[in-house]
Each structure stands twice: as structure tokens, then as C-alpha cells.
Amino acid sequence: MNKKNILIFFILSLIIGIIFGYIIDILIKKDKMYIYTKNYIQNNSIIKSEFGEIKDRSIKLLKFSKNYIGPTGEAFLKIKIKGMKKKGEIIIEYKKEKWEWYLTKVDLIIQNKPPIKIIEKFEKTSNLD
């Protein structure tokens, strides 16, 4: 292969990677669990009191994994947020038992403060499949 072919291969690989990443981003943002989580963050009174108003564009997904087969499963989200007052991260975990999803962990991580635990017990959610 000459330099021209290598350059063309590199550019095409880059373009395909960007398109693939964009498609994955769109699919995640249409996922019911992501939408539920975003709404939860924007409407939870404890999160609002710590961060102030949080707009859609101020919510950045850092990690998202959702594993389930049939009636059981689990999910993990790590989200960076920037509110009117502060910025930080939120760790959210879900568990699926007997076909029902439950919110099992919501921790706020704010710089120079210990984590704030919001969930003390399982909270049943809507259908997130």
C-alpha cells in the first residue's frame, strides 16, 4: 500500500467511527432508562437543592451499561451534571427483579464534599425495557 491508500483508509475509518459514535449516542438518548434518569435528575428535590436548575444540555452521560435477560437484570449510569449552583457527578444503579425495574442507588458526588446518598430503599420505576 502506498501513502495515498493508507491516508484514504485512515480517513474512511475515522468517518465510519464518527458516524457509528453518533448513531450510538442517538440510540442511548432514546432509551427509556436514559430518559427516565434524566427526568429523575431534573425533578428530584434533593438534586435541585444542591445543583439548582439543570438543563438538558448540562447532563453528560459518562458511562451507561444495561444488562438484562428476561425477568432479571441491572443497569449503571454515571452522569456529569452542571446546575446553576454547582457541578458534579451522579451515580445511578437499577436492578430488575421479576420483570420490574427498581432504582437502587443514587449518589451525588460534589467536589470537596462526601457523597450524598439519595436512595435509602428500592424505588419502583416505570417499565424501562
Q: What pLDDT is attached to residue 105? A: 94
Are 16 and 65 within one domain? Answer: no
State the residue range of the domain holding 86.
32-124
Q: What pLDDT is attached to residue 129? A: 67
Average pLDDT (68-87) is: 92
Are 118 and 71 within one domain? Answer: yes
Average pLDDT, the chain: 88
Are 68 and 8 within one domain? Answer: no
Are 61 and 7 within one domain? Answer: no
Are 11 and 48 within one domain? Answer: no
**Whether residue 92 has pLDDT greater than 90:** yes
**11 assigned to some structural domain:** yes
Average pLDDT (2-19) is: 90
**108 assigned to some structural domain:** yes
**129 assigned to some structural domain:** no
Are 38 and 70 within one domain? Answer: yes
**77 assigned to some structural domain:** yes
Are 73 and 16 within one domain? Answer: no
Are 36 and 89 within one domain? Answer: yes
Task: For the chain, give the percent of residues with pLDDT over 70.
Answer: 96
Are 48 and 68 within one domain? Answer: yes
Are 76 and 56 within one domain? Answer: yes
Residue, of 89 and 5, whose pLDDT is higher:
89
**2 assigned to some structural domain:** yes
Are 83 and 98 within one domain? Answer: yes
Q: What pLDDT is attached to residue 24? A: 80
Q: From the CA atom positions of the chain, what is the Rg in Å?
A: 19
Are 67 and 105 within one domain? Answer: yes
